[in-house]
Structure 1
Amino acid sequence: MNPDSDTPPPAHPGRHRALIGAVFAAIGASQPFLPAYLLERGLAPGEVSLVLALGAAIRILAGPLGGRLADGLGNPRLLLVLLGMAAALAAGGFTLAAGLLGFLLAQLALNAAMAPMTPLADAICLAAARRSGFEYGRLRVAGSITYMAMAVLAGWLAGRFGLSLLPGLMAAALASVAVAALALPRPPDPAARAGPRGGMLMALRLPGFTSLLLLSGLIQSSHAAYYAFSTIHWSAAGHAPATIGLLWAVAVLGEIALFLHGHRLVRRLGPAGMAMLAAAAGLLRWGSMATTTWLPALLLIQLLHALSFGAQHLAAMQLIQRLVPPALASTAQSLHSALGVGLLMGLMTWLSGPLYAAWGGGVFLLMATLCALALPLALWLRGM
């Protein structure tokens, strides 16, 4: 594959790690405890799932638009600076919100600004890895570490001071994204960027890309009930906020190990093998989550996150690196995030609210079914 430009900027692994670390610190500040924060502020479980699902829905629009804009400008760095500032302001809006409409507006603004962040950071880091020959996973691990650290910090703060501190913590983490993006080297002149140009349709027409979207959608959206209701579910079972924060952190410990050392496994199994591993791990993980809240079992279940999430993420990144020309990198990453993951994730998040209210932990059996559907599709991708 051609380099990103005739005169690529120098590689700065530390700066790229700082960027992806800042992005995932922001996710770690919000994802584990935002549902509980909304519940504490007076929303019912069904309203929580509606707010989260509509937030995911806005990502389906905002993510690809942000990726297309970044490719058109040839400067995802600048866009990340603006998005970080906007998202920090939106996070602060949760302190002023009240009622379903108020929290819905705050969530829509936050998700619209955050939607392009992860795909843009991934596109920047994949391009840097391609130019300089270092492993993407060793950059991405910074995001896992900061996510874990922020989940633990948020859990400790929630237990000591209450969940009211969450919007401020989210805003500080999001502001750090703008700072980290500013520290990146300037991109080359957009005119020098090599490779074909085109819109979203060109990316969707790439061989195998739509199959990857469906595969990632099935496996990653199986985490919807976990992201939305695991904290609430474990709280109802009597686990303290600090314990729940540690459970989220344990999930990421396995993910860190995979990202640090998984490149050998990726080379041996290939994208299809990694996807099959992810789907099988999801079957085991969600089937177990449906039947127990016993802490020792939860600790073991959480380690499976390395495979149910991490293995599929590495498989998707390897396929995107193979299939997508550099000039479409941000567009393809954003489409993968929005249509591949976000579309089904939004639907499953919306369904999780009423199903959790009716079934409790039984909602995780639906998540296991999604992983079962992904297995034959992963087999079909073996030839890629």
Structure 2
Amino acid sequence: WGTLGDLLPNRLRVVQIGIMGATLAASLLLIDVDFIGLCLVLLLFGLFWNAIIAQLDTLTLEYLTTEHHRYSSIRVWGSIGFIVMMLGSGWLFSDVDYAVLPWLIIIGLLVSAMISFGLPARPETHLTSADHTGIGDRLRHLPVLLFFAVAAVNQLTHGPLNVFFTLYVQAHGYTAFEAGQLWALGVFAEVVLFFVLPQFIRSMDLRVLLTVSLVLGSLRWILIGAYPDLPWLLIGLQLLHAFTFGAIHSVSIEFIRRWFPGKLSGRGMALYSGFVFGLGGSLGAMLSGLLWESFGGSLTFMLSGLVTGMAAMIAWFGLKKANLGVQSS
């Protein structure tokens, strides 16, 4: 998908193909299939969904041109949509059968498709770039490899949170509603950061922001593991989601923009999405499950904190030449 987006005059076409393909895949959820069939349908859906996410981020940067620092003020609407759907689906499925879920997905994707056809065309900046280096040349730079590794490890250490947090807090006496409120609080903090960050990101050393966010992530996981019975502490730790996801994702998008310009932008974003969210997220879910069964929830969170702390050290000492300093434009 990334290669196709970099070759086509209009990257928006890739996003539209992805939306329509995902819609077709979602319609297969209406068919009664066995477990293997369901896995194949979800695999097909993921194939097209990945085309949407990475290329939409790339397209956003192309629309912004010199105002790329405003990326997070656009990305924030994805987080707002997540909150609305999370609260809305909780209310809806308390009275409505889950069988309507595929229809909701299909309708949402069709609305997205209609909106996409109303977007204006962008100049072919990614085709006229004077940068003639290939994607392989970029991947031979140590800072690029280290950054991808740090970002993937950060996503990996979110595994216990993404997979087990609700079960973890319920096991410590919280209700399902209270667990949902803790989730919403984390995303709300992310929304606030996305709104505020464009005012400061141009004057920031992004390596410092990345390292501080990883240190806060390390603190977050260790304290969740150590003191799950303190509600006020969990509330504060959930607010750190603004940094452990929001800030690190914003730094990552800016890193891709700087290291994979022009005709490399789509493939760079696809590599980031696949390696960090695909590989990092999958390994995080799998490893957290294995650790949870062997050592329990508290120790699993604490181990995630230690690994995140090591990632912070790599970010600080290994990314000095990663072109993350303050830029004038």
The answer to whether TM tops 0.5 is yes
Structure 2 counterpart of 1:79: 14
> Secondary structure at 1:290's aligned position in 2?
helix
Q: Structure 1 pair 203/116, CA: closer, same or farther in 2 (3 Å)?
A: farther
Give the counterpart of 2:281 among 327, 340, 345: 345
Q: 1:341 to 1:271 in 2, by over 3 A?
A: farther
- Corresponding residue of 2:250: 314
Instruction: Describe the shift of the 1:196–1:378 C-alpha distance in structure 2 as closer, same or farther (beyond 3 A).
Output: same
Cα 1:377/1:134, change in 2 over 3 Å: closer
In the TM superposition, residue 355 of structure 1 has moved relative to its aligned partner by 2.9
Give 2:302's match in structure 1, choosing from 348, 365, 374: 365
Give the equivalent residue in structure 1 for 2:191.
Answer: 256
Q: Does 1:185 align with 2:127?
A: no
* Aligned equivalents of 1:369, 1:128: Cα separation in 2: 39
Deviation at 1:330, TM superposition (A): 1.0
The question of whether the paired residues in 1 share the 8 Å contact of 2:138 and 2:259 is answered with: no
More displaced stretch, 309-318 vs 231-240: 231-240
Displacement after TM superposition at 1:335 (Å): 0.6
RMSD in angstroms over aligned alpha carbons?
2.8
Q: In the superposition, relative to structure 1, how do residues 198 and 184 fare at CA in structure 2: closer, same or farther (>3 Å)?
A: farther
Matched, 1:325 2:261: yes
CA drift at 1:205? 3.6
In structure 1, the gaps of 5 or more residues are: 1-65
| Residues 209-218 or 152-161, more deviating | 152-161
What is the deviation of 1:357? 3.7
2:76 counterpart residue number: 141
CA distance in 2, matches of 1:94, 1:236: 33
Give the share of equivalent positions with the same residue, in percent: 27
Evaluate the alpha carbon distance shift between residue 190 and residue 129 of structure 1 in structure 2; reply closer, same or farther with a 3 A threshold: closer
Distance 1:289 1:271 in 2: 27
Contact 2:75 2:194 survives alignment (8 Å):
yes
Measured in 1, the distance between the counterparts of 2:209 and 2:124 equals 37
What is the CA distance between 1:327 and its match in structure 2? 1.3
How far does residue 300 in structure 1 lie from its aligned partner after superposition?
2.4
Match of 1:171 in 2: 106
Q: Secondary structure at the match of 1:365?
A: helix
Q: Distance in 2 between the 1:147 and 1:191 partners?
A: 30
Q: How does 1:199-238 map to 2 (within 5 A)?
A: 200-205=135-140, 208-234=143-169
Q: Greater shift after overlay, 90-99 or 340-349? A: 90-99
- TM-score of the pair, normalised by structure 1: 0.74
TM-score, normalization by structure 2: 0.85
> Residue 231 of structure 1 contacts residue 244 of structure 1 at CA under 8 Å; is this kept in 2?
yes
Structure 2: distance between partners of 1:287 and 1:246: 21
Matches within 5 A, 1:1-384: 66-96=1-31, 99-132=34-67, 135-161=70-96, 163-188=98-123, 193-196=128-131, 200-205=135-140, 208-234=143-169, 242-291=177-226, 292=228, 295-362=231-298, 363-379=300-316, 380-383=318-321, 384=323
In the aligned structure 2, how far is the partner of 1:323 from the partner of 1:373?
24
Q: Do 2:6 and 2:127's aligned partners in 1 also have CA atoms closer than 8 Å?
A: no
CA contact (8 A) 1:70 1:330 kept: yes
Whether the 8 Å CA contact 2:126–2:262 is kept in 1: the answer is: no
Sort the Cα spacing of 1:293 and 1:161 in 2 relative to 1 into closer, same or farther, 3 A.
Answer: farther
Amino acid at match of 1:330: G
Alignment correspondent of 2:327 = none
Please report how far the alpha carbon of residue 301 of structure 1 lies from its aligned counterpart in structure 2 after TM superposition. 2.2
What is the Cα deviation at residue 232 of structure 1? 4.0
Q: Structure 1 residues 96 and 369, CA, compared in 2 at 3 Å: closer, same or farther?
A: farther
CA shift at 1:216, angstroms? 0.8
